[in-house]
Structure 1
Amino acid sequence: MNNLVKKSTALLVLVFSFFSCKDLSELNINPNGIEPDVVNPNLVLPTVLTETAKAYVNLGFQDIAGVVQHTQKDAWFSGHNDYDWGGDQSWTPYYDLLRNNDLLYQRAVALNLEYHQGVALVMKSMIFGLITDLWGDAPYTNALKGELGGADYITPKYDDQQTIYAGILADLDKAATLLSKPKASYSSIAENTDFYYSGDPAKWQRMANSLKLRYLMRISAKQPDVAKAGIEKIVANPTQYPIIDDASYDATMAYVGNNSGDSWPSNTVFDISGSNYRRIKMCSTLVKPMEATSDPRLAIWAKKVEIPLAVDATLPTGTDKIVNGVRYLSPDKVGSTAIDTDPNYVGLPPSVSQLPSGYNFNPTPGQTSYNPHVSYLNEIYTQAKGTLLKARLISAAEVHFILAEAALKGWAAGDAKTHYEAGVKASLTAWGLTSSYTAFIAQKGVAYAGTLEQIMGQKWIASWTAATEAWFDYRRTGLPALAPGPVAKRKALPLRFYYMRDELNLNKSNSGVAIEKLETTANSQSDGKNSAWSKGWLVQGTGKPW
């Protein structure tokens, strides 16, 4: 015991001697970390790009795909199918991304790295664009300044949407200018840290100008003169303002598939249960128009139904049997229940019931069921990575459809038919189907008819796995004319995310001002103003989408 006490005392003396020689500020430095004021921008860039792309897919492949009726779920479905949302829709991950991106930008400015500055401004624009598109008014001018202290920065005011969109457009202009030089003019570009364009500033410039087209069209109902002038300026000066006009310029990020964090979200490689894949079904709203036009993308995105249903009036009463891979039912077995007997693809209708796993006479309904009578996603979506498993942040298809809409409005944006057809072709090309274009564009319903409904319909299809854009387009135009199913939470599609509970509690004054500016609707009454069915500035007074 005495030896132990002596040894302990000696150890304490040694410890106190060590600390007495060290300044406390030195002890706060992580020897394995890098201080923000000396970090290399190339170490921050990969995090900004990969996490933004993953966040975008997690929106457009998950619940927003349910809103715009690309997919439905037959388990854990209430948020996806029925819009049963609440105050847990947090923008914290987006502001975390913005803080990293701001560090990227500040270090690029300090080191006079114009390429990195331009990229950071493009990403800032996209992330702030998502925040205001999803929630409405939000911290912008005073955001990301918490280290300055004071209530103005710790609990920042909310800027209105008009201010945020104006800031986004200004930042994209600045980014396009910064990225307008030949690659050899820039320094410190590390190609392997740029997961979108491998360090190509010309492609980043195209992305900046194309995002500007996106946000100009976004505000077109509220500020038509601004949108018209901005789009016409870009179209009139293609050398000065190059855009993503070919699928080879699409802003994409491939998933690498090394672990669950960098793999396609529905993969069954790391999700051994397979539930993330098994729960997702094609939605009938998407399947039916694609089948009607022999759309070749359907076979890329969906599996054929495993066991088709057939109702045969010549069968004896009580018949329910499988013959040659088809399940035959006598009419009395079906009764008045609506079923889908398509032999190829069967989509799950939107918000069809409180037990969607039971649709189409699934013999094993329930949380872990496997429904052989409804189309699942193509098996490529069980993989961790693959040629087609990419986050697609903005594409040539989207850009051409924007310009087709602008031309249809009578703006000097080129020929609407030419852009519409280029948009269809760009989407097919992105999915490896260029050779199918000639036959597809000649199909009834696809051949150009000169209507906004057709343009927005093809744009909606082309937004597969990037469905947030389809949602924002629907909100702005009411197209496609989507309708909620019988058990959806409201009798209309939602328009925004709820402001989260933490923000309402911790930034009560500023969030309260933003909420008061929302416009209630017949569908938002039971929630109060902070509702997914309240209208923000962007759609107030437009009569859209409902």
Structure 2
Amino acid sequence: MKRLTLFSKAVFVLAMVVLSSCDDKLTELNENPNVVDPASANPNMLMPTVMSQAAKNYLDLGYGDIAGVVQHTQKDGWFSAHNSYDWSPRDWSSYYDLLRNNDFLYKRAVALDYKFHQGVALTMRAFLFGNITDMWGDAPYTDALKGDVSNDYVTPKYDSQEVIYKGIIEDLKAASTLFAAGDATGYRTGYDVYYNGDPAKWQKFANSLLLRYYMRLSGKLPDVAKAGIESIYSSGVYLKSASEDAVMDYIGSKQDDSWPGAVQWESDPSEYRRRKPAKLLMDKLLTNGDPRLKVWFAPVYVQWVADPTLATPVDQFIRKNGVIQTGTVSLTDAQFLTETKAGNKFTRHFNPNTFTVAVDTREYVGVPAGLIDPSSYNYNPTPGQVVQNQHVSQLAEVFRGSKGGLLKARLISAAEVSFILAEAAQKGWAAGDAKTHYEAGIKNSLETWGVADQFATYSQKEGVKFNNTQAQILEQKWIASWTAATEAWMDYRRTGLPTFQAGPASPENALPLRFIYGDNETNYNNANSISALSRLEENTHTKIRGKNSQWAKPWIVQGTGKPW
């Protein structure tokens, strides 16, 4: 928060040149070609920086540690933060860096009277501040973007979550109004990495974010949430099909602009390999016969087979097409991948009469949450990180890639919007028919992942067929939030649904509720951060860290009795 932005430094350098020129009584100022003149900056040039990094940050959360929180995935290497919420203080400077660039975008758009760019900046401001307050709680907001060395805003005060959420709503309303005019004056093709300068799609995006944040507030400000959702629904202007999702494609030219964990940039694909499906999600997909299962996950390389005729309790070596491979306990990931693509089938037999260890014999296997040693799960004979767990599924091969196809950072989806409206209607609000929205949410998600042709069958399965409960709506929304798990975390926080359980390695037997304020804030903005900490609610799970704990309750859930 105390560091000067590139923009501030540029202005400072420019001012020094002007003063020097005056002292030397020069009549003409030579411009530095390496410094952008803020008075002539093109707002188009700022948009892709803000938009692409915001999308990457959001995907990194929803595909990263938050996917561990909501048990979409578990890791079997470097796993404590992902599986067990063993979190350290977390810095938010990257978000504020983007917000400062975005503020410059907005000011230039106002100066040039570019309505479209103003709307983009307001929408991104709301999205970024929404991420901050969702994750940390109270945060610098009204004073956050005023700081430089010439004033007192280098240690900005923290605003309450209530103030920030209400500000987010007002920004999104203003953005929606700007987009409604359909004016894209000044836009240059290719600089909008979400919708390529389409104001109508941006208005749907802004209104859909409004639906997200109104529902976020439903437990604290139900009247505000109800009126807001009903208003957006009656307008009809929001995301309705998967083709309208707010997404960013990855470029894939280097590691920094590629899908996280892309194997192209690693000599050993360890980042891809250590990320496994969580048992809770896997079991739900298997139970429901979910068509997304094979899109997201791969079969185990070596499937367990019960064999009462086996002379020993368990095979020491793997079998290839039923034949023992003497001396071969496992293959490498690359070897297994080549062999299975060639049609070979690997198994390991056990005698259920003499082998007393419980093993999962299914073709698709997930890892339970928060295990003390997840790499050993399902009697893996090669624990650790040297080779993959042959008896647990990995992510599907598509997630080895760098770009293209399904590999998109998704900021908000039509599926999420449909489930929000389904929940609102289920509450009795004037938001249409809950069943219609619920089924639209499922259909939009299936379309996103390329299996929409299986909607009719899947939507009528036992456990999926609409039963008009909040629990079922949020369960399907949780499944549909794959790679965007932050929303599932926020839903769990306000409702306690789905009913997640922390694993045995978790320091507390409950899921976390927030990120821990970073050391820069507690060290250099101490008075304001202490004030914010005083507004967090301690409970039985905060005894180790105190108020600056991942289990402390922020305003958004205080007094709601949720999630625990």
Secondary structure at the residue paired with 2:484? coil
Q: What is the CA–CA distance in structure 2 between the aligned matches of 1:23 and 1:55, rounded to whole Å?
A: 47
> Counterpart in 1 of 2:404?
386
> Counterpart in 2 of 1:245?
240
2:335 aligned with 1:340: no
- The answer for unaligned runs of 5 or more in structure 1 is 1-18
Match for residue 254 of structure 2 among 256, 259, 265: 259
Q: What is the CA–CA distance in structure 2 between the aligned matches of 1:235 and 1:214, rounded to whole Å?
A: 12
For the 8 Å contact 2:306–2:351, the answer to whether it is kept is: yes
Q: What is the CA–CA distance in structure 1 between the aligned matches of 2:394 and 2:561, rounded to whole Å?
A: 36
- What is the root-mean-square deviation of aligned Cα atoms in Å? 1.9
Q: What is the CA–CA distance in structure 1 between the aligned matches of 2:262 and 2:175, rounded to whole Å?
A: 35
> Counterpart in 1 of 2:287?
292
Deviations 1:324-358 (A, max 9, x none): 222112347743x442111x2100111122x2111
> Counterpart in 1 of 2:72?
70
Which structure 2 residues correspond to residues 322-471 of structure 1 after superposition, within 5 A? Answer: 322-323=318-319, 324=322, 325-331=346-352, 334-335=355-356, 337-342=357-362, 344-353=363-372, 355-471=373-489
> Counterpart in 2 of 1:11?
none
Amino acid at match of 1:377: L
Which structure 2 residues correspond to residues 5-404 of structure 1 after superposition, within 5 A? Answer: 30-87=32-89, 89-147=90-148, 149-151=150-152, 153-182=153-182, 185-238=183-236, 242-320=237-315, 321-323=317-319, 324=322, 325-331=346-352, 334-335=355-356, 337-342=357-362, 344-353=363-372, 355-404=373-422
Amino acid at match of 1:509: A
Deviates more, 1:319-328 or 1:394-403: 319-328
Q: What is the CA–CA distance in structure 1 between the aligned matches of 2:52 and 2:130, rounded to whole Å?
A: 17
Kindly tell me: are residues 445 and 146 of structure 1, through their superposed partners in 2, closer, same or farther at Cα, counting changes over 3 Å? same
Secondary structure at the residue paired with 2:300? coil
Secondary structure at the residue paired with 1:253? strand
Q: What is the CA–CA distance in structure 2 between the aligned matches of 1:148 and 1:246, rounded to whole Å?
A: 47
- Compute the displacement of 1:28 (Å): 11
TM-score when normalising by structure 2: 0.89
Kindly tell me: are residues 332 and 74 of structure 1, through their superposed partners in 2, closer, same or farther at Cα, counting changes over 3 Å? farther
Q: What is the CA–CA distance in structure 2 between the aligned matches of 1:128 and 1:319, rounded to whole Å?
A: 55
Kindly tell me: are residues 445 and 165 of structure 1, through their superposed partners in 2, closer, same or farther at Cα, counting changes over 3 Å? same
For the 8 Å contact 1:317–1:332, the answer to whether it is kept is: no
Secondary structure at the residue paired with 1:361? coil
> Counterpart in 1 of 2:521?
503
Q: What is the CA–CA distance in structure 2 between the aligned matches of 1:334 and 1:494, rounded to whole Å?
A: 38
Percentage identity across aligned positions? 54
For the 8 Å contact 2:380–2:390, the answer to whether it is kept is: yes
For the 8 Å contact 1:91–1:131, the answer to whether it is kept is: yes
Secondary structure at the residue paired with 1:173? helix
Q: What is the CA–CA distance in structure 2 between the aligned matches of 1:327 and 1:478, rounded to whole Å?
A: 40
Which structure 2 residues correspond to residues 470-485 of structure 1 after superposition, within 5 A? Answer: 470-485=488-503
Q: What is the CA–CA distance in structure 2 between the aligned matches of 1:146 and 1:529, rounded to whole Å?
A: 27
Amino acid at match of 2:360: D
> Counterpart in 2 of 1:520?
538
Deviations 1:444-474 (A, max 9, x none): 1111111111100000000000100110011
Q: What is the CA–CA distance in structure 1 between the aligned matches of 2:22 and 2:491, rounded to whole Å?
A: 64
Amino acid at match of 1:537: W
- Compute the displacement of 1:524 (Å): 0.9
Q: What is the CA–CA distance in structure 1 between the aligned matches of 2:266 and 2:129, rounded to whole Å?
A: 31
Deviations 1:255-281 (A, max 9, x none): 121111111011001123211101101
- Compute the displacement of 1:309 (Å): 1.1
How many residue pairs match? The answer is 518
Kindly tell me: are residues 23 and 64 of structure 1, through their superposed partners in 2, closer, same or farther at Cα, counting changes over 3 Å? farther
- The answer for unaligned runs of 5 or more in structure 2 is 1-19, 323-345
For the 8 Å contact 1:65–1:467, the answer to whether it is kept is: yes
Q: What is the CA–CA distance in structure 2 between the aligned matches of 1:113 and 1:20, rounded to whole Å?
A: 34
Q: What is the CA–CA distance in structure 2 between the aligned matches of 1:179 and 1:203, rounded to whole Å?
A: 9
Amino acid at match of 1:51: Q
- Compute the displacement of 1:23 (Å): 5.8
Q: What is the CA–CA distance in structure 2 between the aligned matches of 1:479 and 1:145, rounded to whole Å?
A: 39
Q: What is the CA–CA distance in structure 1 between the aligned matches of 2:350 and 2:66, rounded to whole Å?
A: 35
> Counterpart in 1 of 2:13?
none
Deviates more, 1:298-307 or 1:326-335: 326-335
For the 8 Å contact 1:380–1:386, the answer to whether it is kept is: no
Deviations 1:67-117 (A, max 9, x none): 000001000101101111011x11110001101111110100011000000
Deviates more, 1:65-74 or 1:323-332: 323-332
Q: What is the CA–CA distance in structure 2 between the aligned matches of 1:387 and 1:27, rounded to whole Å?
A: 51
For the 8 Å contact 1:357–1:369, the answer to whether it is kept is: no
Q: What is the CA–CA distance in structure 2 between the aligned matches of 1:486 and 1:251, rounded to whole Å?
A: 37
For the 8 Å contact 2:158–2:532, the answer to whether it is kept is: yes
